[in-house]
Amino acid sequence: MTHTRTAIVVGGGIAGPVAALALRRAGIEATVHEAYTTTADGVGGALGIAPNGRAALGLVGLDRIGTPMNAIVLQNHKGRTITEIRQPAQFSWRADLYRRLYDLALQQGVEVHHGHELVDVRESGSGIRAVFADGSTSEEADVLIGADGLRSTVRRLIDPQAPEPRYSGLLGFGARVEGAGLPPTGDRMYMAFGRRAFFGYQTFEDGSGVWFANLPYAYRTWQQARQTSNEQWLHRLAEAFAEDTLPALDLLRLTPPEDLITTGPMEDLPHVPHWHRGRMVLVGDSAHATSPSSGQGASLAAESAVELARALRDLPHPQAFAAYEHARRARVERVIAQGARTNSGKAAGPVGRVVRDALLPLFARLATPEKMAWQYDHRISWDAPVAA
């Protein structure tokens, strides 16, 4: 069995470009195929980049991304501070992270094809091809990497019984505002368990600010829920925070409806039984989507992309896929489980809220930098050989 020379990367979001860059660093030629006909500039809200994610991005040449968020000040619905958790991280607009990665990939000679929605594959003894919705196919390559996100097609091609995303019961919203009229929070993000919804915000020296909210919400189909206008969502959010002593209402009032970003249902994938089959393998959200509450989605995607490239550098693909999964599965599933626990606190009912608020100081004590080191201090040794 020979080593991998070429790869098809399906998905040009975050994991896809990182995988392509890391593969190039590993001496493997990678081509990215993205379903959208255009780039994703200006699309999406904010996401966290934890120190472990920043380190993984650094390995493919991306540094200095995002706005520092070196502490989380956790408050209750009365705005009383329960604890301050120091953890050096960044937050970035998804569009900014995406654009930086996209530019880097192009600079390094990665081909990115838009309008290539993968619907099937053709696998032979010598290689694999992607089949796109318009009937065209890609060049043959040694492996195909599914970096196609939460609703991955590659996941279903690997395993038709693969699980679907699980809804946490929360919807995500956010916006940036000008003239927030609040004192700057510096490098601190304030987060609060309101009585009926979760709120976070950070304000800056220039008077601008960012906020996000997680609203418990039951719906039949997301298609149907999407009919709700931004004005209506802002109104619902204002109702949810009406009884809290938080700056939520001020920041909502400063948000023009057209600037509201609805990031949609907060979903995860706690356990995907099969990450690879034959010449196909998953990376990023397609394999291990974690709810945004963990702040680790993009970071884990970057880590996995780099680990997969290392494994393919050193081993023929069947062993490389197994070594990659072995290196990643326990870690990512632990983060996903932690994100899900945070979500259940955010979506708690009246009784759950009382228990949660009573236990918050305890949880806060557990979230010390030492206790979180397994998550944030993880570093990938690029040069270390990968054993089968």
List contacts with ligand FAD (CB under 6 A).
10-16, 33-36, 40, 43-45, 47, 94, 116-118, 147-150, 153, 263, 284-285, 292, 297-298, 301
Dig out the tokens for 14 from the structure. Answer: 């975050």
- Which residues lie below 8 Å from residue 82, measured CB to CB, with a gap of 6+? 74, 75, 76, 360, 361, 364
Q: Which is nearer to ligand FAD, 172 or 345 (CB)?
A: 172
Least distance in angstroms from the C-beta of 212 to ligand FAD: 9
Least distance in angstroms from the C-beta of 268 to ligand FAD: 10
Least distance in angstroms from the C-beta of 361 to ligand FAD: 27
Radius of gyration of the chain, Cα coordinates, nearest whole angstrom: 21
Q: Which is nearer to ligand FAD, 34 or 244 (CB)?
A: 34
Contact of 76 with 26, CB cutoff 8 Å: no
77 vs 43: CA distance, rounded Å: 31
Got the DSSP string for 304-359?
HHHHHHHHHHHS-HHHHHHHHHHHHHHHHHHHHHHHHHHHHHHT--HHHHHHHHHH
Residue with tokens 């604890």: 83
Q: Which is nearer to ligand FAD, 94 or 166 (CB)?
A: 94
268: nearest Cα among 284, 296, 288: 288
350 vs 360: CA distance, rounded Å: 15
Query: In which element (H, E) is residue 133 found?
Result: none
Least distance in angstroms from the C-beta of 305 to ligand FAD: 8
Q: Which is nearer to ligand FAD, 104 or 301 (CB)?
A: 301
340 vs 345: CA distance, rounded Å: 9
Q: Which is nearer to ligand FAD, 194 or 297 (CB)?
A: 297
**Helix H segments across the chain?**
15-25, 51-59, 94-107, 153-158, 222-225, 230-240, 248-253, 285-288, 297-314, 317-346, 350-366, 373-376
Least distance in angstroms from the C-beta of 97 to ligand FAD: 8
Q: Which is nearer to ligand FAD, 288 or 310 (CB)?
A: 288
Least distance in angstroms from the C-beta of 153 to ligand FAD: 4
Least distance in angstroms from the C-beta of 18 to ligand FAD: 8
Question: Tell me, what DSSP letter sits at residue 181?
Answer: -
The three-class DSSP label of residue 144 is strand
Q: Which is nearer to ligand FAD, 10 or 237 (CB)?
A: 10
Residue sitting closest to ligand FAD (CB): 13
Q: Which is nearer to ligand FAD, 297 or 345 (CB)?
A: 297
Least distance in angstroms from the C-beta of 110 to ligand FAD: 15
